[in-house]
Amino acid sequence: MGTLPGRKDIPPWVKVPEDLKDPEVLQVQTQLLEAMFGPAGSRIPYIEQVSKVMLELKVLESSGLTEVLVYGSYLYKLRAKWMLQSMAEWHRQRRERGMLKLEDAMKALQLGPWMK
């Protein structure tokens, strides 16, 4: 990627311009973003600070996915990408388990044919 991110508040731990080249990119289901990053992205500054990276989110219009671009030094980018992928997978599995429990509860509440 040859273009620099449009963000103006670049964190002090990100070196300009070398850390803004070649971000790590991962795609996350858009519906998982609030679980990962909090309402309106409120946890993003904390994640950036402890990971020593800068994050940028780009919604992919027609796919239901959002690209998460991770900027920073090489090792910090890789570590943050791995952490974010793990978080996304954990939240995806948690949501899936919740849906299965909901289905089981709904089946349990359905009336049997003898009670109609």
Q: Can you give the CATH number for the domain in which 55 is found? A: 3.30.1370.10
How far, in Å, CA of 45 to CA of 54, rounded? 9
Taking the whole predicted model, whether its pTM rises above 0.85 is answered as no
- Residue 88 pLDDT greater than 60, yes or no: yes
Top pLDDT among 32 and 115 is at: 32
pLDDT at residue number 89: 92
Domain that holds residue 41: 18-109
pLDDT at residue number 83: 96
Residues in the chain: 116
Q: What is the mean pLDDT of the chain?
A: 85
Number of domains in the chain: 1
pLDDT band at 43 (very low <50, low <70, confident <90, very high): very high
pLDDT at residue number 96: 81
In a domain? residue 116: no
Which residues lie below 8 Å from residue 80, measured CB to CB, with a gap of 6+? 24, 47, 51, 53, 55, 70, 72
